[in-house]
Amino acid sequence: MNTLFTLIVVIQVLSALAIIGLVLLQHGKGADMGAAFGSGASGSLFGATGSSNFLSKSTAIAAAIFFCATLALAFVGGKNVPASGGVMEGLPAAPALPATSAPAADSASTAVPSAGVPAENAGQANQIPK
């Protein structure tokens, strides 16, 4: 199945490059006026009628191949994949953090007052003021 996918991608890239080349080879609308007055177009590779018919048909064929290759890639690559747990599921588990002791419910009666802190505020000495 992987070789089929690679083959379709190669076909799509080649058809895209063909479309780019064929579009760049085509003449713009301004070139038609000079060719109408005999500016040497009859001696060209594609004859007096010019290359518009050949290049436009070739571009249409390359575009059809590109379109079919795109649909084939959507069909081949659009298989239903079973849902996984997520992108974080394959990661290793985080190391356990050391347990910290939670302060007692009545920390004012059991806490030792620190320097410069009254005994009734000793439990709040390391808290962030609001």
Consecutive 10-residue averages of pLDDT for the chain (130 residues): 89 96 82 56 56 85 96 85 70 78 57 55 64
Q: What is residue 32's predicted lDDT score, i.e. its pLDDT? A: 56
Q: What is residue 110's predicted lDDT score, i.e. its pLDDT? A: 53
pLDDT digits (tens, 9 = 90+) for 96-120: 777 777 665 555 555 555 555 555 5
Q: What is residue 71's predicted lDDT score, i.e. its pLDDT? A: 95
Whole-model pTM: value is 0.49
Q: What is residue 79's predicted lDDT score, i.e. its pLDDT? A: 73
- HSE-CB at 119 with a 13 A cutoff on CA atoms is 3
